[in-house]
């Protein structure tokens, strides 16, 4: 059983009010490390066994068509533990 | 400039209707690879330079207090590119 993680983030040129709210809240709580924060979605997809090349290209297509909106979002596919 | 990624996922025992909706939609679109899908949030936090041990422990505390609800969610902190 492998876990594939698809991370979907807004493109850098798209305004991200959720990330801005987090970036504004951090200093109020005493955390000063953040220069910028962006918030996105992630999907943990469980597949049987080690994912084949065909499955990975299927996952890429699913990430592009169902999991993200390619007009405003980018995605990264990662094979997890 | 380093990017720290905080992934926040619902605990396995917590119902995840968003993930279930994705898992139900994938076969309708012809994708049969997924055994289960869970959806979560991710935060990309930009910090100056290489994060120090102190900054990383600050980020852990921020992830626990602001970015996640430890009653129903778990988080993972990853140092990205």
Query: What CATH number is attached to the domain comprising B75?
Result: 3.30.1280.10
A23 → chain B, closest CA residue: B45
CA distance A6 to chain B (A): 10
Distance, CA of B57 to chain centre = 17
Q: What is the pLDDT of residues A47-68, one digit of tens each?
A: 998 888 999 999 999 999 999 9
Residue B33 and residue A41: Cβ atoms within 8 Å?
Answer: no
Q: Which residues of B touch A22 (CB under 8 A)?
A: 43, 66-67
- Span B37-64, average pLDDT: 93
Q: Angle at CA A41, nearest 5°, toward A80 and B11?
A: 65
Q: What is the pLDDT of residues A1-20, one digit of tens each?
A: 899 999 999 999 999 999 99
Q: Which residues of A touch B65 (CB under 8 A)?
A: 29
Give me the count of residues in chain B.
81
Q: Where does the pLDDT of residue A81 fall: very low under 50, low under 70, confident under 90, or very high at 90 and above?
A: low
Q: Where does the pLDDT of residue B51 fall: very low under 50, low under 70, confident under 90, or very high at 90 and above?
A: confident
| Mean pLDDT taken over chain A | 94
- ipTM above 0.90? no
Residue B67 contacts A where some CB pair is shorter than 8 Å = yes
Q: How many domains does chain B have?
A: 1
pLDDT of residue A80: 78
CA distance B3 to chain A (A): 9
**What's the start-to-end Cα distance of chain A, in Å?**
9
Q: Least CB-CB distance to B29: which of A9, A19, A66? A: A66
Residue A58 contacts B where some CB pair is shorter than 8 Å = yes
Q: What pairing do the DSSP bridges indicate for beta strands B36-47 and A36-47?
A: antiparallel
Domain enclosing residue B9, as ranges: 2-79
């Amino acid at each position: 059983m492998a876990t594939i993680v698809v991370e979907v983030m807004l493109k850098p040129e798209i305004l991200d009010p959720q990330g801005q709210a987090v970036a504004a809240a951090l200093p109020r709580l005493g955390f000063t490390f953040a220069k910028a924060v962006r918030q996105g979605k992630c999907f943990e997809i469980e597949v049987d066994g080690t994912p084949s090349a065909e499955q990975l290209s299927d996952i890429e297509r699913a990430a592009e068509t169902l999991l993200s909106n390619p007009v405003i979002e980018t995605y990264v596919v990662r094979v997890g533990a």
